[in-house]
Every structure is written in C-alpha cells, then in structure tokens.
C-alpha cells in the first residue's frame, strides 16, 4: 500500500497533534503563571500526542520500526 492513499486522514490527525500541542502549552503556561509545577494532564496529553503522531507517520507510509 502507498502512503498517499491515506494522506487526507494523516493530515486530519496532524491537526489533532497540533491541537494537543496547543492545549499542553496553554496548561504549562497557566501553571507557570500560577507558580505551579507540571500540570496533572501533561503526561497524558504527551502520551496521546505521541500516539497520534505515530499514526500520522504510519499513514504516510512509515514502518513504525524506527523508534
């Protein structure tokens, strides 16, 4: 199968990655402004981002073995 076949789906998932980045950044900025440490959801958001990013890579034709 070619990666181009799923480019539209991969692009939509990339938009989700971008949204997760923005949410995590906003939470980190708010926590820093309030003098707090790592936000409680930071680890979960990071894990979700990595999973979706891996899906993007796979849909673009990557093997998934290069991690």
pLDDT above 60 (res 40): yes
Over residues 26-47, the mean pLDDT reads 95
pLDDT at 64: 60
**37 to each of 2, 24, 42, 44, 53, how far by Cα in Å?**
44, 13, 10, 15, 26
Taking CB atoms within 8 Å and a gap of at least 24, the contacts of 60-67 are 60/3, 60/6, 60/7, 60/10, 61/1, 61/2, 61/3, 61/4, 62/3
Question: What pTM does this model have?
Answer: 0.81
Over residues 32-46, the mean pLDDT reads 95
The average confidence (pLDDT) of the chain is 90
pLDDT above 50 (res 38): yes
pLDDT digits (tens, 9 = 90+) for 10-21: 999 999 999 999
Contact 64, 57 (CB under 8 A): yes
Domain segments of the chain as ranges:
3-59
């Amino acid at each position: 199968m070619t990666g181009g076949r799923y480019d539209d789906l991969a692009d939509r998932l990339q938009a989700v990655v971008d949204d997760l980045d923005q949410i995590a950044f906003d939470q980190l900025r708010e926590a820093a402004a309030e003098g707090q440490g790592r936000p409680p959801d930071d680890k979960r958001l990071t894990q979700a981002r990595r999973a979706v990013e891996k899906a993007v890579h796979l849909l673009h034709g990557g093997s998934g073995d290069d991690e």
